[in-house]
Chains A and B, each alone.
Chain A
């Protein structure tokens, strides 16, 4: 395990997440020019705000690239542009790599909890050496 990359660590469950991603990617958007979901919204709404001086965003992950291995069901969260690894639990609650053992109701609450926990520190890509 000593030389794994973050992507490889994430890639294990990428196939499992992909199915859920398809369902969530269209859902919950409130952006005017975004396509409206045909089915009732199944995912959390996007957000983009400044919280305690830091920009937090959340929304459907773009296909492919480094988002391919996400476990947020295709949902991506950033803090000052850096990606926060998030995961959705079976009951719909959310956790992140910063607050891993304390589920919260929404990705926005999760991003805010991470900002409080970070106390101004930058989020960095994992240094898996």
Chain B
């Protein structure tokens, strides 16, 4: 059974296995197909048109399914590997063990943002950025640039307190839990973390940085935490909404999975702490 753990609690061996599985997916070309898929949705999801992966109610179930698919790919390399999550309210500086050379490596250098240490540094020749939007083929970061701050626990709690899953018009202007967690409105949780990391994480090709998965695994956990706090609230909208994935509509690109199928994460994995 897959148990997703807080990254801060991983053993040296767990980190090594996770990193090696990432490098093998990269080497085989499978990793980059995930980057491509994500960017295709980033560019096509629009507030007034068809929207599936982002800026819409299905942001959460879409990324849950996307992460399950990615985790299964990792497990095809090493069955002991599970996706860890990054609680950015707790590990909130560039000095966190998350950014150490034995795990994800640190921030980029001032001159060009290039990450110079860790397994994903360009110099190691095992992490070339191939699905990209500009000429640079090396992983870049600018952790906390300009004094930016990651969300606090109090800010997370203020969003978890919202009872309604999502509201019309079901996009980046919506009120409700989903859009506040996604960050287009209010205190800004998910979007702000992408910006805080900087580099490719701030772009449409954000899965080029392995921290993408740890970030989204925590966003996914916050959805589970929200469900536990609001057992009478559920996914919305229920049916008949143009351009939006209703509860029992299938989601691209899989076309065989609905938000309803994704509501119970325990069918697929559990967390190291009770949600």
Contact = CB atoms under 8 A, between A and B. Distances in A.
B134 A1 contact: no
B135 A124 contact: yes
A1 B195 CA distance: 27
A10 B184 CA distance: 22
Given A9-B43, A16-B46, A89 B173 contact: yes
A127 to B, nearest CB: 6
A12 B192 CA distance: 27
Contact of B132 (A2, A9, A103, A127): A127
Contacts of A50: none
Interface residues of B, number: 43
A118 B135 CA distance: 9
B203 A1 contact: no
B8 to A, nearest CB: 24
A16 B49 contact: yes
Contacts of B195: 101-102
B173 A90 contact: yes
Contact of B133 (A2, A10, A97, A119): A97
Contacts of A1: 33, 36-37, 40, 253
Given A1-B33, A121-B134, A101 B43 contact: no
A97 B130 contact: no
Interface of A: 1-2, 4, 9-13, 15-17, 20, 71, 85, 87-91, 97-103, 117-119, 121-124, 126-129
